[in-house]
A = this chain, B = another copy of it.
Amino acid sequence: MDIQAFVEKSLGRWRSQRSAHHLVFQHFEAVQSDIKIEPLSMADAEVIALCQSYDIDPAIAVSPFRMTWAGQSDWDDEDDGRELKGTTVLVPVPDPVHPHQGRLLRDQGYAEEMAAIGQYRLTDEGEFILQTQYDRAMAEEKIWFVTPNLRMRVSLIKTSAGSGVVTASFSSEIRQGVEG
């Protein structure tokens, strides 16, 4: 499977159940959200601007898409500043030599997300694995399809050196009907 096929399978509306395990505190957090993944045109102004901001020729990018989410957490923090609503543009840039891997560009969106560039690869098992280095943390995501309508996602937040895992999250995402 290449990245184009993976994005194609991911398009649509999903209802997500996410559990975050905060490993140090042994705390469980539960989040329910709706996720929408829609294709964008390579001619889209945001796509072109995102490529240019990383000095990447838009001609080598493929399958850009927009992800939008809105959710609720059971986290009890009364002064909680975490935003569970957002949208972001994502642009895969396959490696010309190893087409099953590449870079994934992400814009800042309107929520807490930072602009970032991650490294992805698709495994023989059909898993999409993404590693993103931030200033003070590293994120590793693994996404795979159990059926065309059920997607699993495991996300790890590590210390920036990559040694310690701070949070491990698991999402089960069920495709919603077209009227969803």
Cβ 8 A contact of A146, one of B28, B152, B165? B165
Chain B CB within 8 A of A125 CB = yes
Q: With a CB–CB cut-off of 8 A, which chain B residues contact A152?
A: 154, 168
The 5 closest A-B pairs by CB, nearest first: A170-B170, A19-B19, A168-B172, A28-B30, A17-B21
Chain B CB within 8 A of A105 CB = no
- Protomer copies: 2
* Residue among A21, A32, A125, A174 having the largest count of chain B Cβ atoms under 10 Å: A21
Q: Please report the C-alpha to C-alpha distance between residue A170 and residue B149 in the assembled complex, in whole angstroms.
A: 19
Q: With a CB–CB cut-off of 8 A, which chain B residues contact A174?
A: 23
List the B residue with the shortest CB-CB distance to A158: B146
Chain B CB within 8 A of A127 CB = yes
Q: List 6 A-B contacts (CB under 8 A).
A: A17-B21, A23-B172, A23-B174, A125-B125, A146-B156, A168-B172
Cβ 8 A contact of A170, one of B23, B26, B154, B165? B154
A162 to chain B, nearest CB (A): 10
Known pairs A125-B127, A146-B156, A170-B170; A28 contacts B17 (CB<8 A): yes
Contact B172 A21 (CB under 8 A): yes
Chain B CB within 8 A of A123 CB = yes
Q: With a CB–CB cut-off of 8 A, which chain B residues contact A146?
A: 156, 165, 168
Q: Please report the C-alpha to C-alpha distance between residue A172 and residue B154 in the assembled complex, in whole angstroms.
A: 11
Chain A 143-166 interface residues, beta-carbon cutoff 8 Å to B:
146-147, 150, 152, 154, 156, 163, 165
Q: With a CB–CB cut-off of 8 A, which chain B residues contact A17?
A: 21, 23, 26, 28
